[in-house]
Copies of this chain bind each other. A is one copy, B any other.
Amino acid sequence: MEEKRLSRREREKERQRGEMLTAALELFSKRGYHGVSMHEIAKKAEFAVGTVYKFFKGKEHLYETLMNEIAVKYHAALKDALSKDEDTIALLGEYVRAKAEIFADNASVLRLYIAGARGANFNIRAGLDKEMGRLYDDVLEVLALVIEKGVRKKVLKALDPHYMAVALDGLTNAFLFCWLKDPERHPYQANLAMITELFLRGSLAR
């Protein structure tokens, strides 16, 4: 009974923290770090400012926490997709699918994510960019391993696996951005087909 109450309180805490992060995400993704005030976040999350400060040491900490949670979730999903027990081509398909899913689910997050991964944040603690870059490179590495196996199995050409990973990532980014900008004009299936076609077979006739 004691335990239950404790756990309930902890769940309550978690819920509140989540509400704050959700509110912050919504605002940050619309107006950026500097465009949002702590009061706004507190108001949107329906707490007093002081309460927000009980959960996060400051605005920067709140922002970093948010970005990290997103990054961790994102990269975990990608690594999961790549660790399935399938053949190379299917795995790469899984990767693209997982990435598309994330883009779809968190369209609003993406502006933030891109800004972060690409180093477009200034002023914010330098460590953040670095950490996100690390997670990003981590996924690329796993992707490269999958590709390497494909090369060894002679499924893929004997090119540098890391560069092939970079290429696939760039390709998916480009198409998924298209899709995000105008989902009607750039349906998911068409994008997927193009990525596959271009990455695997190239564009040269014959």
| Contact indicator B170/A122 (Cβ below 8 Å) | no
- Which B residues lie within 8 Å of A155 (CB)? 204-205
Report Cα–Cα, A90/B92, bound state, in Å: 30
Contact of A194 among B123, B159, B178, B198 (CB under 8 A): B159
Known: A34-B34, A123-B32. A201 touches B202 (CB 8 A): yes
Q: Given that A123-B32, A166-B178, A170-B170 are contacting pairs, would A156 and B118 also be in contact in the complex, using a CB cutoff of 8 Å?
A: no
Report which residue of A158, A169, A172 has the largest number of chain B beta carbons within 10 angstroms of its beta carbon. A169
**Oligomer copy total:** 4
Q: Is the interface of A mostly helix, strand, loop or mixed?
A: helix
Q: Which 6 A-B pairs have the closest CB atoms?
A: A170-B174, A32-B122, A202-B202, A115-B120, A201-B202, A35-B123
CA distance A123 to B28 in the complex (A): 10
